[in-house]
Amino acid sequence: MHRQISAPVGAPMMGNRNRGGVKASAVRLLSLCGAFGAIALLGITVAKAQDAEPRSYSNTPIGLNFLIAGALYSAGKLAFDPDLSVADANFHSKTGLLVYIRSFDFAGQSAKFDVIVPASSFSAWGRVEGQPRQREMAGLGDPRFRVSVNLIGAPALSVKDFANYRQDLIVGISLQVSVPLGQYDSSKLLNLGNNRWAFKPELGISKAVGPCTFELAPSVTIFTDNTNFFGGNNLAQALFYAVQRHILYTFQSGAWFALDGVYFSGGRTSLNGVKSDNEQRNTRAGFTVALPIDRQNSLKLSASTGITSRTGSEFTAVGVAWQYRWGDGY
């Protein structure tokens, strides 16, 4: 469902007829899209982020299935390029998330396949050149598929054999693919779907020292072009880099606590070949708490906030997720 309360942000800018005016309008429209679009993407991602996801490369017994249902609320302000006549821009988002994960044996090491399906309601409002603009939408976002393979330090073990496993150093890799199946309308500037593919290869390093674990996960996201952006324009985006860092403490009960940090950079966009000054350099920090309920069920709580932001967003997010697992040995 889409509901347009007022004219789409940036729509009046498409009316300039001289060549210089059209180019300037394209740049300004692109900058608006970059800032609002970054928030929409963050809003449909569980707080573990767009982005801060501890224990992604921990060892897991093979043959298990995980079903995760999560909810995220995020709110804050939209940060734009200083040259734009945009003021008092804010947003809030509510997101539901359904995740399925399957662990398996790959060349003697543990591996996982997961599917993530998000659904969101999103609202943004502000003033563009003194005129109020607001956009509300609700529906499905783009589903994501990921394969994670541990290369060393995480042997493929059954549930029974896993009881004797103790982690030292784990190194793994993953590839996540975002498929353009989410809700999309080219007559709207903001959408929950992106109408393009995205590929995210990542390297994961996890080192255990007693009850503490230190994790580092650099990644890069590669985007295809959206060739039907806002009335048939071509929207392209440069490589988007991220580095996750986590410090975890695991209790004897199986509960664990993590301090999370994420740094983002890149992602500069261009509209019909005209580049915008919206390259991102953002830092976020937060925490994650996982609480086992019984052998099959657990609860995860998370929160994060922005520390520094060049363009894109300054927001706080809180999330909760319930996990159920079953399979061989359960």
Dihedral sign of CA atoms 37, 41, 42, 43 in order: positive
Characterize 66-93 residue by residue with b for buried, 16 or more Cβ atoms within 10 angstroms of its Cβ, and e for exposed.
Answer: bebebebebebbbbbbeebebeebebbb
Q: What is the pLDDT of residues 242-275, one digit of tens each?
A: 999 999 999 999 999 999 999 989 888 888 998 8
DSSP 244-283: EEEEEEE-TTS-EEEEEEEEEEE--EEETTEE-S--EEEE
The string of pLDDT tens digits covering residues 54-67 is 999 999 999 999 99
Contact between residue 288 and residue 300 where contact means Cβ atoms under 8 Å apart? yes
Question: Dihedral, CA atoms, 39, 278, 307, 50, nearest 10 degrees?
Answer: 40
231: left (phi over 0), alpha (psi -120 to 50) or beta: left
Residue-wise pLDDT for 97-109, tens only, equals: 999 999 999 999 9
pLDDT band at 40 (very low <50, low <70, confident <90, very high): very low
List all residues 6 or more positions away from 28 whose beta carbon is below 8 Å from its beta carbon: 10, 13, 84
The pLDDT of residue 50 is 46
Identify the DSSP state of 14: G
Is a pLDDT exceeding 90 seen at residue 145? Answer: yes
Quote the distance between the C-alpha of residue 278 and its chain's center: 18
Give the model's confidence band at 10: pLDDT under 50 very low, under 70 low, under 90 confident, else very high.
Answer: very low
Closest-CA residue to 220 (of 195, 207, 238, 196): 238
Assigned token pair, 257:
């606590």
Instruction: Answer whether 319's CB lies under 8 Å from 149's CB.
Output: no
Q: How confident is the model at residue 74 (pLDDT cuts 50, 70, 90)?
A: confident
- Residue 330 banded pLDDT, cuts 50, 70, 90: confident
